[in-house]
Amino acid sequence: MALPVLTPEQRQAALVKATEARQARAALLARLKNGELTLAELFERDDDTAKKIKVSQALRALSGIGPTKAAALMERAGVDEKRRVGGLGVQQRRKLVEAVSP
């Protein structure tokens, strides 16, 4: 399938939209990192911004969890490394929340 040919205006609009989406995801991850938002609250959100965050990024935003521990938690919960929050099942969400809860 060939990519559509975009006009310069369409291309610029797409770039602006992509930048806004990245900034919104970064803001959510920052709230998670600061403790303003819990992993359970992130999983409960029903907006596209939250759904498109990679699970590994969300876990790494939590205090004390780096790439290795995030990968181990995801493996134990049966979550693929490329999975996004919107694609998680109920049991996967529950296992991850239980694993990071104090």
Backbone dihedral region for residue 47 (phi beyond 0: left; psi -120 to 50: alpha; all else: beta) = beta
Name the residue range of residue 84's domain: 38-101
Say which residue, 3 or 28, is predicted with more confidence: 28
Q: Are the C-beta atoms of residues 91 and 68 closer than 8 Å to each other? A: no
Q: How many structural domains comprise the chain? A: 1
Q: Which pLDDT does position 65 carry in this prediction?
A: 94
In a domain, 33, yes or no: no
Give the predicted TM-score (pTM) of the model.
0.87
In a domain, 77, yes or no: yes
From residue 34, give the alpha-carbon distance in Å to each of 15, 49, 88, 95. 28, 18, 23, 22
CATH for 68: 1.10.8.50
Closest residue by Cα to residue 102 from 67, 68, 65: 65
At 39-84, the pLDDT tens digits run: 999 999 999 999 999 999 999 999 999 999 999 999 999 999 999 9
The yes-or-no verdict on residue 16 having pLDDT over 80 is yes
In a domain, 89, yes or no: yes
